[in-house]
A and B are shown apart, each in its own frame.
Chain A
Amino acid sequence: MNKEYIHIILADDDEDDRLFFTDAFSELKMSTKVQTFKDGVELLDYLNAKDSILPQLLFLDLNMPKKNGMQCLQEIKANPRFSNIAIAIYSTSSTEEHIDETFLQGANIYIKKPNDFKVLKKILADVVTINWQYHTSGLNKDNFLLRYSG
């Protein structure tokens, strides 16, 4: 890490979810810089731009207009430039199909959006502090879906 801050990006079309996300991080008081985008096109435009600071951690909502999370995931994984970005799927659904597909496409972790703000903060804190190099090397589907109580 050559920067003190951990760059985090969220792509989610829901305004409230984006609010929860940024508020959670601001309350967590971790050294993070959070950016949000409201659809896949905006996200990829940013990532593909020459001077953009690439995030270490990307949270992807699956259900977005114009370009949904699955498509973004595929595009990002296809580009070697983005190979250092850890991708967390951040979605309302936790259907078997979505979990399987995103796992296959190379996402690092799957998070079902919690219904409790406190829990959200805990999740985000945990995810950010995971040492992704170790985590990804030992990844199996059992660990893919983040389990939490509440």
Chain B
Amino acid sequence: MKMWNFKKPSFHLILIFVASAALIFFLMGLAYKQLEKLSHNTSYVNRSYEVSLTLERIYTHVKDVEILQRQYILTRDAGIKADIDLTIADIEAGFKKLQVETTGNPEQKQNGEVLYGYIQEHYMIVDKALHTDFGKDDPDELKHNLLAGKNVMANVRAQITEMLAIENGLLKKRKNEFHITQQSTPLFLYLISLLALGLLAFAFHRIFTDFREQESVNSRLQIVLNASNLAEIVGGFGVWILNLESKTYQFSDNQYRLLGYQPQEFRASLDFFLKHVHPEDQDDIKEKVQLLTEQSDPSPSVFRVYKKDGSLRYFQTTGAIVKLKSGEKVFLGITADITHEIDSTLMLEEQNRTLEANNQELVAFNYVASHDLQEPLRKIETFITRLKEKDGTNLTESGKMFLEKMHSSAGRMRTLIDDLLLFSRTTRAEKVFESTDLDSVMHHAQEELQQMIEEKKAVISFVKLPVLEVIPFQIQQLFINILSNSLKYCKADVPAFIGIKYEVVNSRDEAWLPKNNLTYHKFIFSDNGIGFEQQYADKIFDVFNRLHSREDYAGTGIGLAVCKKIVENHKGYIFASSKPLCGAVFTVYLPDKH
């Protein structure tokens, strides 16, 4: 059994109702009692009046008898005797009445008995008077009789007076009571009604407030429901609800639309839904629904569906078990139409494949072209050198010059092909990152450039470089290209000097870097060469871009482009800054892998 939730509004309401009903019953009882009292009081008062009245009557009748008795004594009229009997009968009747009326009052009843006693005495006297012939025997007998009669009458009168007084007192008392009750009853009833009304008002207020709240909740729900329906339509998904106990399904409106039906067009059931699933996916989906409802595998799964009109769509479904307040468990499932995403993905993949294929072709072409061009070029150069060596002296001046031109052209071609090969290799190569000691890479680079270094009498200073995860041969090429660039563009009369610095920085603190709050390894190569204008700082990294003519400085314009490619392969950045005749600074940023 559930514990009563004392905060529940329905409990409040029941409590109030029961309390009100009880109170009203109680109050009704009280009112009833009050009215009863009132009517009792009234009857008491009436009774008192009646007793007084009866007593008065009795007295009158007794007096009548007395008078009649005297009349009879005087007249000895038989008719008067008859009257006397009648009147006595009235007295008796009156007493009977009195007895009844004084039943509730023992004192008065007692008094009544006493009174009756006196009246009996009076009867005796009257009776005696009726049957005695006065004046015959004793002339004082009449006098005695009359005196006795007078005494009894006095007693009777006194008794009656007393009884009347008592009744009066009672009457007064009862009248008082009646008065009070009469006064208080309407007030009492008024208060009771007020209280009852108060309770009613309170109950009404509660009910009304609840009702209002219910209305507002309902309208919010209405809004939410509408929003949810719209969301389903816009988002292209439908909701299905499975009652885990009754195993019945409910589909949202959009769930029907997803399949191409009108909302609620058919009775929601798993079988009907499965009929639309692609035959190959049907078993999977049956299993999936099973797993989902048991919560053993909540991951979404994709399957194919045929809409009512026969078109093929891709759906994705997932969901979760929800426990309702009533204790019921339902499974809330979401099915989304992801055909668009799938199509986009497929299209993208297709595009990627095409691009990739194209790219591969281009790179292969570049590589093969460069590679295959090397061979004949090498032959040309070698034969030229042989010619120079063997028959150089036999040539005419112009012949020697021609030969020389041929040799230098061939040399340029060689450099170009080498650089192109390098460039294509930088893109083509497997990007295998290894933990590499950049110190030793720098040493190797300098070894490669040994001849040029000696030629330019160059001095290279550098600090200890770190060990980083890089593509070793590419970084080596990077260093070689930057150094050879600095060496090539040194000032004619000044020994070349290249300074290499290294530090770890955060992208926040570097003006050129994007503000991604990552750590970078910063390498600064500064030379004292001829420099360049800052406006070309970006262009020098373009392929084949040169700032000088061939006569002034040999070069293919690929070296720095290769540097940029290498740096990009490492997800880093390279920048150049310079002023003419003030040397150049090349800054390389490589991201920290952590």
Docked pose: A96 CA to B476 CA in angstroms: 12
Contact B451 A20 (CB under 8 A): no
Interface 9-mer from A41-49, A114-122, A129-137? A114-122
Contacts A117-B389, A118-B389, A147-B447 given; does A20 touch B382 at CB 8 Å: yes
Contacts A20-B382, A147-B447 given; does A115 touch B414 at CB 8 Å: yes
Decide yes or no whether B473 CB sits under 8 A from chain A: yes
Contact B371 A93 (CB under 8 A): yes
Interface 9-mer from B16-24, B296-304, B372-380, B523-531? B372-380
Decide yes or no whether B381 CB sits under 8 A from chain A: yes
Residue of A95, A116, A147 touching B382 (CB-CB under 8 A): A116
Contacts A16-B379, A92-B375 given; does A116 touch B385 at CB 8 Å: yes
Residues of A within 8 A of B473 (CB): 96
Binary interface encoding of chain A residues 64-104 relative to chain B, with 1 for a CB under 8 A from any of its CBs, else 0: 00000000000000000000000000001101100000000
Contacts A16-B379, A116-B381 given; does A92 touch B374 at CB 8 Å: yes
Decide yes or no whether A113 CB sits under 8 A from chain B: yes
- The number of chain A residues with a CB under 8 A from chain B is 18
Docked pose: A95 CA to B430 CA in angstroms: 13
Shortest Cβ distance from residue A2 to the other chain B in the assembled complex, whole angstroms: 35
Contacts A92-B374, A92-B375, A96-B473 given; does A115 touch B382 at CB 8 Å: yes
Residues of A within 8 A of B389 (CB): 117-118
Shortest Cβ distance from residue B455 to the other chain A in the assembled complex, whole angstroms: 10
Decide yes or no whether A52 CB sits under 8 A from chain B: no
Residues of B within 8 A of A92 (CB): 371, 374-375, 378
Shortest Cβ distance from residue A99 to the other chain B in the assembled complex, whole angstroms: 10
CB nearest to B411 among chain A residues: A115
Residues of B within 8 A of A14 (CB): 375
Residues of A within 8 A of B286 (CB): none
Which chain B residues in 349-386 approach chain A with CB under 8 Å?
Answer: 371, 374-375, 377-379, 381-383, 385-386
CB nearest to A63 among chain B residues: B375
Residues of A within 8 A of B414 (CB): 115
Residue of A93, A117, A149 touching B386 (CB-CB under 8 A): A117
Which chain A residues in 16-36 approach chain B with CB under 8 Å?
Answer: 16, 20, 23
- The number of chain B residues with a CB under 8 A from chain A is 21
Shortest Cβ distance from residue B528 to the other chain A in the assembled complex, whole angstroms: 25
Contact A149 B381 (CB under 8 A): no
Docked pose: A20 CA to B382 CA in angstroms: 8
Contact B371 A115 (CB under 8 A): no
Contacts A96-B473, A149-B451 given; does A113 touch B378 at CB 8 Å: yes
Q: Main secondary structure on chain B at its contact with chain A?
A: helix
Docked pose: A142 CA to B448 CA in angstroms: 12
Q: Main secondary structure on chain A at its contact with chain B?
A: loop
Residues of A within 8 A of B410 (CB): 115
Shortest Cβ distance from residue B431 to the other chain A in the assembled complex, whole angstroms: 13
Residue of B371, B382, B425 touching A120 (CB-CB under 8 A): B382
Residues of B within 8 A of A147 (CB): 447-448
Shortest Cβ distance from residue B494 to the other chain A in the assembled complex, whole angstroms: 24
Shortest Cβ distance from residue B369 to the other chain A in the assembled complex, whole angstroms: 14
Docked pose: A92 CA to B379 CA in angstroms: 11
Which chain B residues in 438-486 approach chain A with CB under 8 Å?
Answer: 447-448, 450-451, 473
CB nearest to A149 among chain B residues: B451
Docked pose: A24 CA to B450 CA in angstroms: 27
Docked pose: A137 CA to B385 CA in angstroms: 36
Residue among B379, B414, B425, B447 having the largest count of chain A Cβ atoms under 10 Å: B379
Shortest Cβ distance from residue A149 to the other chain B in the assembled complex, whole angstroms: 5
Docked pose: A114 CA to B385 CA in angstroms: 11
CB nearest to B473 among chain A residues: A96
Residue of B377, B429, B447, B450 touching A115 (CB-CB under 8 A): B377
Binary interface encoding of chain A residues 135-150 relative to chain B, with 1 for a CB under 8 A from any of its CBs, else 0: 0000000000001010
CB nearest to B371 among chain A residues: A93
Docked pose: A95 CA to B367 CA in angstroms: 12
Shortest Cβ distance from residue A148 to the other chain B in the assembled complex, whole angstroms: 10
Residues of B within 8 A of A118 (CB): 385, 389
Docked pose: A95 CA to B386 CA in angstroms: 27
Residues of A within 8 A of B374 (CB): 92
Contacts A93-B371, A96-B473 given; does A115 touch B378 at CB 8 Å: yes
Shortest Cβ distance from residue B343 to the other chain A in the assembled complex, whole angstroms: 41
Docked pose: A95 CA to B425 CA in angstroms: 9
Shortest Cβ distance from residue B451 to the other chain A in the assembled complex, whole angstroms: 5
Residues of A within 8 A of B429 (CB): 96
Residues of A within 8 A of B385 (CB): 115-119
Shortest Cβ distance from residue A140 to the other chain B in the assembled complex, whole angstroms: 13
Residues of A within 8 A of B381 (CB): 115-116
Binary interface encoding of chain A residues 3-21 relative to chain B, with 1 for a CB under 8 A from any of its CBs, else 0: 0000000000010100010
Residue among A23, A114, A115 having the largest count of chain B Cβ atoms under 10 Å: A115
Per CB-CB distance, the 8 closest pairs between chain A and chain B, nearest first, are A115-B381, A117-B385, A117-B386, A116-B385, A149-B451, A115-B378, A117-B382, A16-B379
Q: What are 30 A-B contacts defined by CB distance under 8 Å?
A: A14-B375, A16-B379, A16-B382, A20-B382, A20-B386, A92-B371, A92-B374, A92-B375, A93-B371, A95-B425, A96-B429, A96-B473, A113-B378, A114-B382, A115-B378, A115-B381, A115-B382, A115-B385, A115-B414, A116-B385, A117-B382, A117-B383, A117-B385, A118-B385, A118-B389, A120-B382, A147-B447, A147-B448, A149-B450, A149-B451
**19 extra interface residue pairs, beta carbon distance < 8 Å, beyond A115-B378, A116-B382, A117-B389:** A20-B382, A20-B386, A23-B386, A92-B371, A92-B374, A92-B375, A92-B378, A93-B371, A96-B473, A115-B377, A115-B382, A115-B410, A115-B414, A116-B381, A117-B383, A117-B385, A119-B385, A120-B382, A147-B447
